[in-house]
Structure 1
Amino acid sequence: MSLLVMKYGGSSVGDAKRIKRVARRIADRRQEGHQCVVVVSAMGDTTDDLIELSKEIAEATPSAREMDMLLSTGEQVSVALLSMALHALGEQAVSLTGWQAGIRTEANHGKARIIDIQADRIMNALYQGRIVIIAGFQGVTENGEITTLGRGGSDTTAVALAAAIRADLCEIYTDVDGVYSTDPRIVKQARKLKEISYDEMLEMAHLGAAVLHPRAVECAKQNKVKLVVRSSFTNHEGTQVKEETDMEQGIVVRGIAFDKPIAHVSLLDMPTNPSRLAAVFNSLANDDIDVDLIVQGGIRNGKADLSFTVSLADLEKAKSVLYHIQADVGFKNLETHSDLVKVSIVGAGNVSSPGLAATMFHTIAETGVSIYTVSTSEIKISCVIEGRRLHEVIRSLHTVFGLDEHEYVFVTDVSNE
């Protein structure tokens, strides 16, 4: 008998019919002889609906504590209904909120991190032969305050629980049947990956792939949790996320990822004094503005051009912060470019495969768009480009790196083209 943790997202339990389908799948796993712990998100758009309702009630921004009290109710509805559906199938099940399940978090409302799981109640219920249904996305502080975990919280809950109870497998059920080489809505020839390494999946998640949240992947890697991404609507084999993968012959790039619309910000003729750089990024961080792809270049007479990217939604706020500190940090001019996107190639084979960057740049150039910034690591190369032909760029990169379905050839030599 193996111990499974299964996580079902909001789309999987979006209505009564889907909840019954999920209950049937869980019952089937239980009847196969497995012990089952199930983590569930709020139904469909419940969380968004609750946020909108709060805006109708409170003219000012509601307190973070009360928002956590409100938003945590969505998952409580889901676990109760799913437990009822299992009872109707003749299964013994018990629903638990995050705090009943012993999930202890930081006292950081809206984006708390799990610090400990006291799993005695879960293990006792399993010992009694019950299926345990746990609300994702939530926990409780040492002082008994309800918290929510922020974006990707239910994925993180599932992986953390799997680590705490030493589950044999953690299955993440979603509306896609695995991790693909890129978004199959853009590239019809996208291939579902049989397996992907933690590091590759972490890069894909950070770079825009929405199948798994980076926090969940980090937790799985740290605790060596065996992780599988599967569809809640089919019985297809999913994608295994693991420590190392067996490289397919000829495949050095595992996938193509892309991020939301971003903006490129340049501070021209800024002093290179490290304290000035710290002042820029501290000020942005204090306003909760995430910064990516930082590049300093063109150093002359103790000054340089400092460039970085922010989300397009944060651009105006970032400009306001930067103009406010301009006199203190000493940059001469501020330039911005919007309507950009970040596209990346990801693969553990990057480190041992010369020519990848040249091939990527050549392929992007052929589509006629400009590259603003480049960033590299051992397993990824990212380019910030104009967003107007993103889909064409993704399709071209997917083909040239041999990722189209049934294609296994990658040629790095573009010198004669």
Structure 2
Amino acid sequence: MKYLVQKFGGTSLVTPELREQVARKIIAAKDEGYAPVVVVSAMGRQGDPYATDTLVKFVEGINSSISPEALDNLMACGEIISGVTMVATLEGQGHKAVFLTGGQAGIITDNGHTDAHIVKVDPKLIHQYVSERVIVIVAGFQGQTENGMITTLGRGGSDTTAAALGVALNAEAIDIYTDVDGIKTADPRIVENARTLDEITYNEICQLAHEGAKVIHPRAVEIAMQKNIPIRVKCTFSDAPGTLVTASYDKRVEIKRDRIISGITHIPNVTQIEITTSEFPSSEYPQLKIFKAMANAGISVDFINIHPDVVIYTVKDDIAGRAVGLLEDMGFAPIVTPKCAKVSAVGAGMAGVPGVMASIIEALVAEDIGILQTADSHSTIWCLVKQDDMEKAIRALHNYFALGE
């Protein structure tokens, strides 16, 4: 059986006309000899009647301290509505279809309500329906615990559902349908000539997603990568081929090795914190004290540089005040630079290539953009800049590396 997992985001399902387009893509896959297994998100975004954020806002208006267990029961409703609606749409066109909740589809999770992790997938019910030539529609974003409690998988959870089912079914591919035509070289709202990438590696797309790109959830990519299931990011509203995400060693696709940088992405609204530790005796381990304090307070830190006498890191703007307060209570005098942005250049082709950092600095200096901090890995170089310079920095790097060509 040739399985094809198709995931459709909420913006693809809002109106009857859009659902008709979705149905055509599902039926086309069936006509091509695939057994389509379709994962759906809740319809629309906040403000739309069946969107998850709308449901959550409604119930929190009654009681803002609702339990995570109860909240999961509520948040699972949006995908159920979408799934049943798609079954009705397909059956209205003469195609047998069935809807399964995440739990019915065999997705078993841990007990982490509102941000659960998948423990295992047992798709026996999917196999049964597919053997009867029934199109299976599965609610994304949800599963159940071993004892039958409904859980949800956190933001981007429908992508995770699709990837987990793709691996469990040994699917030919996982098609992620969105309202854009693939992975872009940069945010097209910032860079006019941002180009759709034909192909990208798992590692590159994970880095882009972790560093701010929102087309696909990195957890989903990491799951698909375990079994080397290709992911195709496509547009619901066109027949464009989209972007193929696969391993660099996969013989089914020739990865272009002459591409040093694949894309530029960004994370706005961060604050840089710099702490001088030289005034504290080394026996007191000031670096350890700093990061333990952040961890104990539940403050996530990023962009960390540790030197013998200085510690530098970033936090989100909205929690910077709390982080600084903790440091001052410990006797530190942090230097705080708010309203910064992290701009990242991502590309598997940069590994082992000399001069990439020099090129990035040259591109930014040419536009008179101050660099507050840098870091790098084998496939990513990060630069911290003032937020006022963020868009200029993205365009400068995009143009320097000719990503629009």
Q: Normalising by the residue count of structure 1, what TM-score does the alignment of the two structures yield?
A: 0.90
Contact 2:213/2:266 (8 A) holds in 1 = yes
Correspondence 1:6-405 to 2 at 5 A: 6-45=6-45, 46-58=51-63, 60-244=64-248, 246-248=254-256, 250-269=258-277, 271=280, 272=282, 276-297=286-307, 299=308, 304-324=309-329, 326-327=330-331, 332-405=332-405
Contact 1:269–1:333 under 8 Å retained in 2: no
CA contact (8 A) 1:252 1:349 kept: yes
Change (3 A) 1:398 1:273: farther
Residue-by-residue CA offset, 1:211-251 (whole Å, 9 max, x unaligned): 11111111111221111100011000111101106454742
SS at match of 1:67: helix
RMSD: 1.7
Amino acid at match of 1:269: T
- Of 249-258 and 232-241, more deviation after overlay is shown by 249-258
Distance 2:227 2:33 in 1: 25
The aligned amino acid for 2:318 is: A
| Change in CA separation of 1:34 and 1:69 when aligned onto 2, cut-off 3 Å | same
Query: 2:82 and 2:305 mapped to 1: Cα distance?
Result: 45
- The 8 Å contact of residues 370 and 386 in structure 2, kept in 1 or not, is answered as yes
Change (3 A) 1:321 1:98: farther
User: Any conservation in 2 of the 1:50–1:71 contact (CA below 8 Å)?
Assistant: yes
| Partners of 1:167 and 1:9 in 2: CA distance | 19
1:62, 1:279 → 2: CA distance?
Answer: 34
Secondary structure (helix, strand or coil) at the match of 1:261 reads strand
Letter in 1 for 2:315: V
Aligned with 1:266: secondary structure?
strand
Deviation at 1:321, TM superposition (A): 3.5
**Deviation (angstroms), 1:389:** 2.3
Aligned identity (percent) is 37
Contact 2:258 2:349 in 1 (8 A): no
CA deviations on 1:80-100 (whole Å, 9 max, x unpaired) are: 000100000100100011111
Count of residues paired in the alignment: 394
- Between the aligned partners of 2:268 and 2:38, the Cα distance in structure 1 is 31
Secondary structure of the corresponding residue to residue 172 of structure 1:
strand
Cα distance in 1 for partners of 2:299, 2:166 equals 32
Question: Could you say which residue in structure 2 is the equivalent of 1:410?
Answer: none
- List runs of 5+ in structure 2 lacking aligned partners: 46-50
Distance 1:360 1:23, change over 3 A: same
8 Å CA contact 1:367, 1:389 repeated in 2: no
Q: Relative to 1, partners in 2 of residues 1:364 and 1:82: Cα closer, same or farther, differing over 3 Å? A: same
**Distance in 2, Cα, partners of 1:295 & 1:237:** 41
Given that residues 258 and 341 in structure 1 are in contact (C-alpha distance below 8 angstroms), is that contact kept between their aligned partners in structure 2? Answer: yes
The one-letter amino acid paired with 2:121 is I
The runs of 5 or more residues in structure 1 that have no matched partner are 406-417
Equivalent position amino acid for 1:267 in 2: I
Are the counterparts in 1 of residues 346 and 381 from structure 2 also a CA contact under 8 Å?
yes
1:283, CA displacement in angstroms? 3.1
- Report the alpha carbon displacement of residue 281 of structure 1 after superposing the two structures with TM: 2.5
Cα distance, 1:275 vs structure 2:
5.3
Supply the distance in 2 between the matched residues of 1:120 and 1:97 (Cα, whole angstroms): 14
Return the alpha-carbon distance in structure 1 between the equivalents of residues 306 and 284 of structure 2: 12
Deviates more, 1:258-267 or 1:160-169: 258-267
Gap change, CA 1:233 and 1:274, over 3 Å in 2: farther
Give the CA deviation at 1:273: 5.6
**For residues 132 and 396 of structure 1, what CA distance do their matches in structure 2 show?**
46
Whether the aligned pair in 1 keeps the contact of 2:174 and 2:230 (CA below 8 Å) is yes
Work out whether residues 15 and 44 of structure 1, in 8 Å CA contact, stay in contact via their aligned partners in 2: no
Displacement of 1:142: 1.1
AA aligned to 1:51 is V
Contact kept? 1:24, 1:86, Cα under 8 Å: no
Deviations 1:139-186 (A, max 9, x none): 111121111100110001100100001111110000111111111222
Q: Report what 2:48 is aligned to.
A: none
Query: Any conservation in 2 of the 1:175–1:233 contact (CA below 8 Å)?
Result: yes
Distance 1:358 1:95, change over 3 A: same
> Quick one: structure 1 residues 319 and 51, their matched pair in 2 at CA, closer, same or farther if it must change by over 3 Å?
farther
Partner of 1:409: none
